Amino acid sequence: MTRELTHFINGEHVAGTSGRFSDVFDPSTGMVQARVPLASTDEVSAAIAAAEVAQVSWGETNPQKRARVLQKFIELVARDNEELARLLSSEHGKTVDDAKGDIQRGIEVIEFSLGAPHLLKGEYSWNAGGGIDVYSMRQPLGVVTGITPFNFPAMIPLWKAGPALAAGNAFILKPSERDPSVPLRLAELFLEAGLPAGVFSVVNGDKQAVDALLTDDRIKAVGFVGSTPIAQYIYETAAIHGKRAQCFGGAKNHMIVMPDADLDQVADALIGAGYGSAGERCMAISVAVPVGAETADALSAKLAERVAELRVGPALADDVDYGPLVSAEAVARVNGYIQQAVDEGATLLADGRGIVVPGFENGFYLGPTLFDNVTTDMTIYKEEVFGPVLIIARADDYEQALAMASDHEFGNGVAIFTRDGDAARDFSARVNVGMVGVNVPIPVPIAYHTFGGWKKSGFGDLNQHGPDAFRFYTKTKTVTSRWPSGIKEGASFVIPTMH
């Protein structure tokens, strides 16, 4: 029987009233398993109204008490980890182990957010001038929202919500309608942990709900992760309506392979980073850039050998390397990129189209695909594929490889594999990309550093998690204080200075 999902508003599951629904599939079988309501503007407004009321007392709660609620939430997620991971896998299609990683990376940001009592401390200058003291304080913005993608239904909502809640804001989550069950479950766990009703809400929906959040004056900040065109739209719309915004878009992450690199290590790293989660990661390595013909030929052979051994199957199976894509539309889109690359002259070394998984013939599967001799003018090089497709784009020398990563319109992540410290140091300093890995294939920073891409991969001045998150979710108030000393100085018409 198909489940009917809800919104989560003011501490309660609330049935949708718009009359509009979207199907939630099991990607492994291709079958509809649930329906999720798509909120109307009025439903979004109700969530905002509840959040606005709840935020007042939550914002006045001292940071240490807020941190204790988050600590309890961490304990509850650990208690229900297996259930959450399997639920996530059943709607997204990633393996259970990968789903546990999705949850864990989100929890690590919650753990960092426990430091709110320290991170929210302001500055103080005593006797800055003539008995005048100056101090600053960080205060919550009010009601903020996160609009998050299908590919990390636990991690990215927690990246957004953790610092926002710790800083004293109320948070409204608009998750992807493709896999909304884990976000709804997280809302239940926040409530169980002691978060007051209304402080964390989940409103399911499509563009109508997004636009309602973007245009409502009660929403003070917007965090988004998704495709670049939508990231740019949300950033611009939020700015027009006077909101803070941090919006992260697409990626085309390169791995530069120097001639001195350990090619077995490189090949293993590329296989995991390129095909893990069926390539549906914004930090997936999708472009291998071997330097020199000898390096390229050797790497191409090693990758082809490993690709042939990859196991594709249902998300809940224990013996697969990756599962299905999230939807039939995703499979069709990636198949189109593969055919276009063939038509444009790339060398197809492994073709994943048409794969059939016995017993799961209607699932959304695509086998691992590998191309060689891809050039920078080809569509498959220029655009984000977001599927299990790895391409080899050869470079004659180091400078050409550096330029390829630096000149691409996306600037999310990049890696270099080498034994040469000078090359690694030079590359890290010069490459025009926001996150760099040195012999690390997926350079996602740990929770107490910030995550963010450059160029068309990121819009906004402040990044996700780390100290930037607390800057983003707070406003700074500066107080200049002087207590009367009994001395009458008379009126002054000169601008105050500290002298």
Write the DSSP string, 352-406.
Answer: -TT---TT-TTS-----EEEES--TTSHHHHS---SSEEEE--BSSHHHHHHHHH
Active-site residue list? 282
Per-residue pLDDT tens digits for 10-25: 999 999 999 999 999 9
Per-residue pLDDT tens digits for 299-326: 999 999 999 999 999 999 999 999 999 9
Task: Return d(Cα 287, Cα 257) in angstroms, integer.
Answer: 11
Model confidence at 31: pLDDT above 80 = yes
Closest CA to 177 of 152, 215, 151, 205: 205
- Residues 299 and 257 sit within 8 Å (Cβ to Cβ): yes
Closest CA to 67 of 119, 117, 138, 140: 117
The type of residue at 154 is A
Per-residue pLDDT tens digits for 337-385: 999 999 999 999 999 999 999 999 999 999 999 999 999 999 999 999 9
Model confidence at 493: pLDDT above 80 = no
Residue 278 per-residue DSSP state: G
Could you give the angle at the alpha carbon of 280 between the alpha carbons of 8 and 75, nearest 5°?
45
pLDDT bracket for residue 488 (50, 70, 90)? low
Q: How buried is residue 97: exposed, middle or buried, by Cβ count under 10 Å (0-12/13-18/19+)? A: exposed
Closest CA to 77 of 150, 163, 203, 182: 182
Helices (H) and strands (E) in the chain, counts: 16, 23
Q: What is 3-249+457-479's CATH number, 3.40.50.740, 3.40.605.10, 3.30.360.10, 3.40.1640.10? A: 3.40.605.10
Quick one: pLDDT at residue 497?
A: 67
Task: Return d(Cα 268, Cα 271) in angstroms, integer.
Answer: 5
Could you give the angle at the alpha carbon of 64 between the alpha carbons of 60 and 69, nearest 5°?
90
Q: 253-438 is classed in which CATH architecture?
A: 3-Layer(aba) Sandwich (3.40)
Residue 446 per-residue DSSP state: P
The type of residue at 282 is C
Per-residue pLDDT tens digits for 161-178: 999 999 999 999 999 999
SS3 letters across 156-193:
HHHHHHHHHHHCCCEEEEECCCCCCHHHHHHHHHHHHC
Per-residue pLDDT tens digits for 423-439: 999 999 999 999 999 99
In this structure, how many other beta carbons lie within 10 angstroms of the beta carbon of residue 134? 17
Quick one: pLDDT at residue 147?
A: 98
Mean per-residue pLDDT of the chain: 96
Strand order through the sheet with 132-140 = 124-129, 132-140, 474-482
Once rounded to an integer, what is the mean pLDDT over residues 244-252? 95
- Residues 377 and 407 sit within 8 Å (Cβ to Cβ): no
Model confidence at 499: pLDDT above 70 = no
Per-residue pLDDT tens digits for 59-70: 999 999 999 999
**CA count, 13 A, side-chain hemisphere, 425:** 3
Task: Return d(Cα 96, Cα 327) in angstroms, integer.
Answer: 18
In this structure, how many other beta carbons lie within 10 angstroms of the beta carbon of residue 375? 13
pLDDT bracket for residue 484 (50, 70, 90)? confident
Task: Return d(Cα 20, Cα 75) in angstroms, integer.
Answer: 36
Once rounded to an integer, what is the mean pLDDT over residues 49-56? 98
Could you give the angle at the alpha carbon of 402 between the alpha carbons of 400 and 405, nearest 5°?
110
Quick one: pLDDT at residue 461?
A: 87
Strand order through the sheet with 12-14 = 12-14, 7-9, 200-202, 170-174, 143-147, 219-225, 244-248, 458-459
Strand, helix or coil for residue 102: helix
Per-residue pLDDT tens digits for 209-230: 999 999 999 999 999 999 999 9
Quick one: pLDDT at residue 492?
A: 73
Per-residue pLDDT tens digits for 441-469: 988 898 899 889 989 999 998 898 899 99
Q: How buried is residue 272: exposed, middle or buried, by Cβ count under 10 Å (0-12/13-18/19+)? A: middle
Quick one: pLDDT at residue 218?
A: 98
pLDDT bracket for residue 498 (50, 70, 90)? low
Task: Return d(Cα 271, Cα 261) in angstroms, integer.
Answer: 16
Closest CA to 388 of 292, 312, 290: 312
Per-residue pLDDT tens digits for 80-120: 999 999 999 999 999 999 999 999 999 999 999 999 999 99
Q: Where are the domains of the chain?
A: 3-249+457-479, 253-438
Quick one: pLDDT at residue 66?
A: 98
Closest CA to 3 of 31, 32, 43, 29: 32
The type of residue at 248 is F
Torsion angle in degrees (nearest 10) through CA of 193, 194, 199, 202: 30
Quick one: pLDDT at residue 91?
A: 98
Q: What share of the chain in percent tops pLDDT 70?
A: 98
